[in-house]
A and B are shown apart, each in its own frame.
Chain A
Amino acid sequence: EAGVAQSPRYKIIEKRQSVAFWCNPISGHATLYWYQQILGQGPKLLIQFQNNGVVDDSQLPKDRFSAERLKGVDSTLKIQPAKLEDSAVYLCASSLDYRQPQHFGDGTRLSIL
């Protein structure tokens, strides 16, 4: 089966610019996750979708981050405006449901200048 697809793989922007990441989960997976992984740390959940509804966005900085999952399939994560501390790898994962193991994409490495 095809894995979780993410794009772009790398992105370099200047602070205060905006950026968007895209994720295509494994077909049939109802649950989709976005994580932020700062160098040397474990992944931190930003937002979790069940189909196209938000289950958990308690750690999403809503003043600058937004995410959507249209039609319960693909998802986009946006940062506007970006800050230096947003430099990280953004990982997308999907699972059949929240109790099942997650399958991860290769991530987008974001560098803020």
Chain B
Amino acid sequence: AQSVTQLGSHVSVSEGALVLLRCNYSSSVPPYLFWYVQYPNQGLQLLLKYTTGATLVKGINGFEAEFKKSETSFHLTKPSAHMSDAAEYFCAVSHSGGYQKVTFGTGTKLQVIP
């Protein structure tokens, strides 16, 4: 069984400040991890993914995430928030080795304050 926990359903940051969105996962096998972003009235868009290899993953729009196995975490960061980053962010987990559906977290809504 696998699960995802996103701490904080709402996060507010000032424009130019660091963005940190937290994600912890539970998986009995090595995970595949994803971050998706959802803008209002749109579907989800992939920001970045971790499968194997380098634990620091860079994605689109200046976001990156670090896979920490010892902490079972995959937190999303961006050094400087932009107004256009305001959206809802979903962490998701899957894994290799046969069929396994992707499990999504409940989402974190990011507000950027000018």
Q: Give chain A's interface residues, CB within 8 Å of chain B.
A: 4, 40-45, 48, 55-56, 91, 93, 98-99, 101-107, 109
Contact with A along B40-66 (1 / 0, CB 8 A): 011111100100000000000000000
Give A93 to B32 CA distance when docked, in angstroms.
18
Known contacts A42-B105, A99-B32, A101-B49; A56/B43 CB under 8 A: no
> Is B96 part of the contact surface with A, judged by Cβ < 8 Å?
yes
Which of A41, A98, A99, A104 is in CB contact (< 8 Å) with B44?
Answer: A104
B107-A91 in contact (CB<8A): no
A41-B107 in contact (CB<8A): yes
Known contacts A45-B101, A45-B102; A101/B96 CB under 8 A: no
A42-B106 in contact (CB<8A): yes
Given known contacts A104-B36, A106-B43, what 19 new A-B pairs fall within 8 Å (CB)? A40-B9, A41-B107, A42-B105, A44-B104, A45-B102, A48-B101, A56-B99, A56-B101, A91-B44, A93-B43, A93-B44, A98-B99, A98-B101, A99-B32, A99-B94, A101-B46, A101-B49, A104-B44, A107-B41
Q: Chain B's nearest CB lies how many Å from the CB of A3?
A: 8
B99-A106 in contact (CB<8A): no
Query: Contact size class for B?
Result: 20 to 34
Q: Chain A's nearest CB lies how many Å from the CB of B60?
A: 12
A104-B43 in contact (CB<8A): yes
Residues of chain B contacted by A103 (CB below 8 angstroms): 46
Q: Chain A's nearest CB lies how many Å from the CB of B25?
A: 13
Residues of chain A contacted by B107 (CB below 8 angstroms): 40-42
Give A88 to B36 CA distance when docked, in angstroms.
19
Give A99 to B107 CA distance when docked, in angstroms.
22
Residues of chain B contacted by A107 (CB below 8 angstroms): 41-43
A–B pairs, 6, beta carbons within 8 Å: A40-B9, A42-B105, A42-B106, A91-B44, A98-B100, A105-B43
Q: Chain A's nearest CB lies how many Å from the CB of B35?
A: 10
> Is B90 part of the contact surface with A, judged by Cβ < 8 Å?
yes
Residues of chain B contacted by A102 (CB below 8 angstroms): 44, 46, 102
Known contacts A55-B99, A99-B32, A99-B96; A106/B42 CB under 8 A: yes
